[in-house]
A and B are shown apart, each in its own frame.
Chain A
Amino acid sequence: MATETTQTAFKKPTVTIDRGNAVISLREVHKSFGDIAVLKGVDLDVFKGENLVVLGRSGSGKSVLIKIIVGLLLPDRGTVRVLGCDVDKLDTRTLQQLRSKIGFSFQSSALYDGMNVRANLEFPLVRNKRNLTRKEIDEAVAQVLGDVGLSQTINQMPSELSGGQKKRIGIARTLILHPDIMLYDEPTAGLDPVTSEEINALINKVQKRYNSGAVIITHDLTCARFTGDRIVMLADGKFIRQGSFDEVFPSDDTRVQDFYNYNFITKA
């Protein structure tokens, strides 16, 4: 088993990545909507314990990519292997079983409006592990709420939470099943810098605590730099750069330069 220990720049904590164990493997994935080709032959490997950041402009196909990984969208061509299973070839029941090992944190948090925080967190647990006792459920809820630092919100409704709290509860809901893979769709979008940093720290904490492979979709370079062990940049339906943050930026490619400059000029 080829493992390595990395210490990337910018306060990224030390993590152990199992380079011999790809939890997600995409080969020649194509996806179009009508005449618009969004993905044009994407190849990708994500390893156990690794945080992979997918950078790209809005509409570049980042969200499509993770929806393909979790089977919410089917690719037009290519293979998508997740935890050793071909996602596009699974029947409904097997796909549901696979999804119980994948945590998906939505851009909008997607908390169930009609349920309080406790019910939101219990939902995936009681749906997937039907023989749990009340005590076990309560313990699991308390544990993940503690992990995201929001134990006091247990009886609150989603409408009573701030944007950052919603994101963290959304992440807690995915953690309750101890997923092998985490997928984050724009985890810091719409948040202030301080809350964004808290979310970044939480993503790193999750990586270290659960040793999960993760795909983080973002256009926030601070998030990419702080959370990513490896970064890929998606443009024109293909990955145009990949490596560590310092390897990807700077670049001679104007698409990468523009992205980098725009991010930092905007922040400045």
Chain B
Amino acid sequence: MYDIYEFLLRFYKEAFLPPYEYKEIINQFFDVGIRSLSIISLTGFITGMVFTKQSRSSLAEFGATSWLPSLMAIAIIRALAPLVTALIVAGKVGSHIGAELGSMKVTEQIEAMEVSSTNPFKFLVVSRILATTCILPVLAAYMGLVGMLGAYVNVHLHEETSFTTFFQAAFVRISFVDIGVLVFKSAVYGFTIGFAGCFNGYYADHGTVGVGRAANTSVVVSMFLIFIEEMLIVQLVNSYLH
């Protein structure tokens, strides 16, 4: 626990003190974003379609299929988009960060960086954590839109609902608070993914076994923490904002 505390403290210190690694942060920002974009598009669209299909029969029993757009918007924007995005990024990017830093550690690349007069913590760790923290809200918002598109396609296949009508009905129940919560939740998940990946990778040892363990632990720990955080944030939001 002390190592985690020390790592966290060092992160805040290095993140706020100059010099700043702008170029590497932007590189990581695009790297993380681009690496996740295709899978997020696919899963977002399928999630929207399938969730709409599954919900339709239940709402139809009460003659409430007209509520489908707003139900989908609430489910996707408030819960599914940030959570599913975070789980996908944890699996794809978190494991990559853990393995990458782990292999750099065991092959002395981090030490090589240090003797090249570069602060490896700032260059490797701070840039990755900031990148995942900043990119996840963008990816979650994107997934929300793609998910809603999937929902629209399903609705359109059953009823002749126009694009405009669907989205007007969908967003009538969505407020700025919901968007704000999506951004906040996603940023927290992004930080968790980046932090877990960097911490496990940076302290990897025992050769290639350690690299595998770092990648694995990064994913397991970040997914576990994401669910805990989801539960806490939902409790807080429901208590104070909704």
Contact = CB atoms under 8 A, between A and B. Distances in A.
Interface string A112-142: 1110000000011001100000000000000
A264 to B, nearest CB: 30
Interface residues of A, number: 23
B108 A127 contact: no
Contacts of B109: 110-113
B125 to A, nearest CB: 15
A110 B117 contact: no
B108, B111, B117, B118: most-surrounded residue (chain A CB, <10 A): B117
A96 interface: yes
A106 B116 contact: no
Interface in B112-131: 112-119
Interface residues of B, number: 15
Interface in A72-93: 72, 92
Main secondary structure of the interface of B (DSSP, over half): helix
Contacts of A104: 112, 115
A70 interface: yes
A127 B115 contact: no
Interface in A146-179: 173
A107 interface: yes
Nearest to A92: B119
B26 to A, nearest CB: 16
Given A96-B117, A123-B116, A114 B100 contact: yes
Contacts of B111: 67, 72, 106, 110
Contact of A127 (B103, B107, B117): B117
Nearest to B108: A110
Contacts of A123: 116, 118
A100 interface: yes
A113 B108 CA distance: 11
A100 B117 contact: yes
A24 to B, nearest CB: 15
Contacts of B104: 112-113
A108 interface: yes
B103 A106 contact: no
A124 B116 contact: yes
A99 interface: yes
Contact of B117 (A97, A108, A113): A97
Interface in B77-121: 100, 103-104, 107-109, 111-119
B103, B115, B119: most-surrounded residue (chain A CB, <10 A): B115
Given A112-B109, A113-B104, A114-B100, 6 more contacts: A99-B115, A99-B116, A99-B117, A104-B112, A108-B107, A127-B117
10 contacts: A72-B114, A92-B119, A99-B114, A102-B115, A104-B115, A107-B108, A108-B107, A123-B118, A124-B118, A127-B116
